[in-house]
Every structure is written in structure tokens, then in C-alpha cells.
Amino acid sequence: MRPRSRDRRLENAQEAAGNGLLDRRVFMKGGLGALATGAFMAFASTEAGAAGPPEIPAGMKIAGAPLSPYGSPATYEREVTRTLIRSQPGTTGAGASRTPLEALEGIITPSGLHFERHHNGVPAIDPAQHQLLIHGMVARPLVFTVASLLRYPMVSRIHFLECSGNSGAMYQPTPPALTCGQTHGLVSCSEWTGVPLRLLLAEAGVDPRADWILAEGADAAAMSRSVPMRKAMDDAMLALYQNGERLRPENGYPVRLFLPGYEGNMSVKWLRRIKVTDTPTMTKDETSRYTDLQGDGKSLMFTYPMEVKSLITRPAPGLRLTGPGLYELSGIAWSGHGKIRKVEVSADGGQSWAEAALSPPVLAHALTRFRIAWKWNGAPTVLKSRATDDAGHVQPTRDRLIAEHGANVIFHYNAIQAWGIESSGEVKNVYA
């Protein structure tokens, strides 16, 4: 530990962009363990009153809690929950719940906090009774039990899943006064493990004239989407595990389709049927629902990959700054087109930008964590982040996105997010 040299390093650190953004290497190599950095506070949290030295904390004077069969988050984290849980009138299961992005770090979303979007609730499925049919334009229509699927060779991959309606409130004329997760929390990221779909399609023997599959769920909405055969034969997976354990019911237990990078509703949960077809089936959810109405009245359909996007999650609405000083800005970036190449951050409302450090691993179709040091002088300002993916796509401004597509789209919102920082430390969603 050589705190003195680190102090010098920080003092000498060049501003990488205006209004206090420091070179990204300050955090990467120098470390900040001995430096006073600013803290972010959740609205609800209160200052800890821990006993300082030389007192022995109470927990050291009695035996601790017993072992437990399945762990839970700390009692003090009980307010970190899914948020903005809303269902359609008269229903409890036709809606969405959102990931509290501002409360999380790293790239993996705890399974219990993964966002939900159901079209008619979570079905109760006994895996011993569940079967998957593959039929249509195949040589051998086949039925698979869950037990049989568990015997196939599997792959494990870390991928985000984003609802195409994520951030849809940002199309509104005034910025939603919600937390970061309430506005943008229809994105989560997990390690998914399962059987490559192409193995099962090969076993059934696909007719070379078949260009599509239809995937259908065993829920009360019989959720169904057509998927191009090219995707089905590429990286589509029948996911059985999420973050090491079997899928949660709300994520499709016992088996779901997973299509890396594609809009979330296509990764059909509770998968019970795959029909190999020559054309798209034109189900409700690929015609009337998940199509993107443009300003001119036309609608884009089959808009599959989720576009390049990023968010600063610390600080963000739901957290506040606790006074001037040095902070680490932290956020997530992702693209349905591939890997994140770079994330730039601005602390002066977009006048100047500095490149943030990307925390490994940087994976295709996965959340990528970015970080950068920022010395806040206590004055009001606007923070922004702008991601570029390895296909060359750059996040647009909100004005450009709406100029191009209109404000009626509902879906596929990926514009640069601006967070207004007030001198009180409060963080607000702003259009800037």
C-alpha cells in the first residue's frame, strides 16, 4: 500500500474531458482504497451507526445465525426488489416488473431480480409432465421430455435479455420522474445454459426449403413468435439453467427458447412447440404487438436485434450524491448486434466526452460494465453516456431517434440518456 504515491497520481491525473472527468486509468491502475471518494446513497438508506474501534461489534460476541438450505439477500437489502410492477386492468399476470438497475453492480442480474414480462401470468408446470414437440417441415416429428433434454450436450453463455418495450416511457414529451430501473429496467443479464437448438433440429431433419420456425409457449397466452431459421441454426438455445440453477418459473421453467441479442419476447418461455415452416406465421405478437409504428403511419416488423445502448447506473435516479468530491461513475452498455467497442461519458451535458474503462469480460450480446472517475465540483450539471458496438453502431441522441422514427414507436428506444445532477446531489431524468 503506497497511498502517498496514489495521491500524487490523482493530483497529476489529466482531465480526460470537461467538468472533472478523469483519465480512465486512474481507477484501473492507481486504485482508490486510501482516498476519500464520494458515496451514492439510496433514498431509503440511513447512515450506519457502527461501533468504531476499539469496541467489539455485537456480532462478534454471540454465535451467528445457523446454516440454511437456500440463501437470501441480507435483511438490510430488502428494499432492493423488482420495481414498477404493473399488470393490465383486471389481471395480475399480464404485465411487467423491472430490474432495479441502480442498486446492482457487475453484469449479472440476480435471478430473483431479472425483469418479468408475461402475457398471461406464470404457468405452473410439472417438469415430469412437460413435453416439447418439434414438427412441421421435418423428416421426423419428435417429442422431447425435459429429462431427455437434460442429457444433450449443453453450452453456457452470458447474455442480456431486453424487452423491446424497455425505456418506452422515454418517447413521452416529458421525462418520466421514475428511478433508473423503473424507466430502463426491462433489461437483465444472466448466464444461460442449455442445448443448442440446431442439435434437435438436426435430429428431426429440417426440410431445406424451411426458412422459419414458430416457437410457442405453454402459458395461458400460448405466446408465439416466428424466428428465422438462420438464427435457429446459429446461436439459438433451449435454455434449462439460469445463473447455474434451473430456470426460475418466471423465466420459463422448465425450458425456454433463448435468442441472443434479439428482442426479449422472442425468447419464448415455457417452450412446448417448435413448428418448422416456410413462412412467418404472423402471430399477434409479431404483427399487432411487437411492431414499431413510425411517424409516417408505416410500421417496421421483424426488428429483431436490440440496438446499442448504455446507461450510467451510479449515479442515477433512485440514488443521490452525498457532496462534492471524487466519484466513480459506473454503468452498463449492451448491443444486440455484437460486443461493446467503447463507451464515452460526458459530465458537461455532451460538450466533451471521455472514454470510460470497460470492465472485463466484454462479451457479445451481454451487458458490459463501464467505469470512469469523476471529480464533482458540486455545481449542477448533466451526465451522459454513449456506447458504440463492434458493428459500428453508435447510440443516437433522443432528438435524432424521434426525428427518424417518430414518438409513437413504443419499442426499441436506445437513445443517449441524460441524468441531471442538482447541487443538492439529487439525480433527475432530463431531456438534454
Partner 1 sequence: MSTREAFALASLIIAVGGCAGTTARETPALGRPATPAEIAGWDISIPPDGRGLPPGAGTSAEGALVYAQKCQACHGERGVGGPNDRLVGGQGTLASKAPVRTVGSYWPYATTVFDYVRRAMPFLQPHSLTDSEVYAVTAYLLSLNGIIREQDVMNAETLPKVKMPNRDNFVPVYPWKPMAP
Residues 398-427 that bind partner 1 (CB under 8 A): 407-408
CB 143 within 8 Å of CB 133: yes
Exactly one of 201, 236, 259, 321 binds partner 1 (CB under 8 A); which one? 201
Residues 352-381, one symbol each (x = binds partner 1 by CB under 8 A, - = not), give: ------------------------------
Minimum distance from residue 361 beta carbon to partner 1 (Å): 22
Minimum distance from residue 35 beta carbon to partner 1 (Å): 43
Exactly one of 261, 280, 317, 425 binds partner 1 (CB under 8 A); which one? 280
**Stretch near partner 1 under the rule CB under 8 A, chosen from 54-62, 186-194, 225-233, 365-373:** 225-233
Interaction between residue 198 and partner 1 (CB under 8 A): yes
CB 337 within 8 Å of CB 323: no
Exactly one of 91, 129, 156, 423 binds partner 1 (CB under 8 A); which one? 91
CA nearest neighbour of 17 among 374, 397, 412, 431: 374
Cα separations in angstroms, 382 against 42, 177, 314, 316, 333: 19, 16, 13, 11, 19
Residues 53-82 that bind partner 1 (CB under 8 A): none
Exactly one of 104, 163, 214, 329 binds partner 1 (CB under 8 A); which one? 214
Cell 455484437 maps to which residue? 338
Exactly one of 119, 269, 398, 405 binds partner 1 (CB under 8 A); which one? 119
CA nearest neighbour of 356 among 327, 385, 390: 385
**Stretch near partner 1 under the rule CB under 8 A, chosen from 23-31, 183-191, 202-210, 417-425:** 202-210
Cell of 379: 455545481
Interaction between residue 37 and partner 1 (CB under 8 A): no
Residues 309-348, one symbol each (x = binds partner 1 by CB under 8 A, - = not), give: ----------------------------x-----------
Exactly one of 151, 377, 399, 423 binds partner 1 (CB under 8 A); which one? 151
Exactly one of 34, 85, 177, 301 binds partner 1 (CB under 8 A); which one? 301
Taking the least distance from each CB to partner 1, the nearer of 102 and 216 is 216
Interaction between residue 177 and partner 1 (CB under 8 A): no
Minimum distance from residue 154 beta carbon to partner 1 (Å): 10
Phi-psi region of 243 (alpha: psi -120 to 50; beta: other; left: phi over 0): left
Q: How many CB atoms lie within 10 A of CB 228?
A: 17
Exactly one of 34, 85, 177, 300 binds partner 1 (CB under 8 A); which one? 300
Interaction between residue 202 and partner 1 (CB under 8 A): yes
CB 36 within 8 Å of CB 323: no
CB 397 within 8 Å of CB 309: no
Q: What is the DSSP string of 115-158?
A: -EEESS------TTT-EEEEEESBSS-EEEEHHHHTTS--EEEE
Exactly one of 287, 351, 377, 423 binds partner 1 (CB under 8 A); which one? 287
Q: How many CB atoms lie within 10 A of CB 66?
A: 5
Rounded to whole angstroms, how far apart are CA atoms 152 and 145? 12
Cell of 337: 448486434
Exactly one of 3, 295, 361, 380 binds partner 1 (CB under 8 A); which one? 295
Please enumerate in sequence order all residues whose Cβ is within 8 A of that of 167, keeping only pairs 6 or more positions apart, or say none: 183, 184, 186, 309, 413, 414
Interaction between residue 220 and partner 1 (CB under 8 A): yes
Q: In terms of C-beta density within 10 A (0-12 exposed, 13-18 middle, 19 or more buried), how is residue 160 classed?
A: buried
Interaction between residue 127 and partner 1 (CB under 8 A): no
Interaction between residue 135 and partner 1 (CB under 8 A): yes
Cα separations in angstroms, 310 against 102, 113, 238, 240, 256: 13, 19, 28, 28, 27
Exactly one of 228, 249, 325, 349 binds partner 1 (CB under 8 A); which one? 228
Exactly one of 377, 392, 399, 400 binds partner 1 (CB under 8 A); which one? 392
Interaction between residue 208 and partner 1 (CB under 8 A): yes
**Stretch near partner 1 under the rule CB under 8 A, chosen from 5-13, 19-27, 164-172, 206-214:** 206-214
Interaction between residue 142 and partner 1 (CB under 8 A): yes
Rounded to whole angstroms, how far apart are CA atoms 124 and 102? 31
Interaction between residue 299 and partner 1 (CB under 8 A): yes
CB 162 within 8 Å of CB 306: yes
Cell of 50: 457502527
Taking the least distance from each CB to partner 1, the nearer of 133 and 430 is 133
Minimum distance from residue 117 beta carbon to partner 1 (Å): 15
Cell of 187: 433489461
Rounded to whole angstroms, how far apart are CA atoms 206 and 310? 39
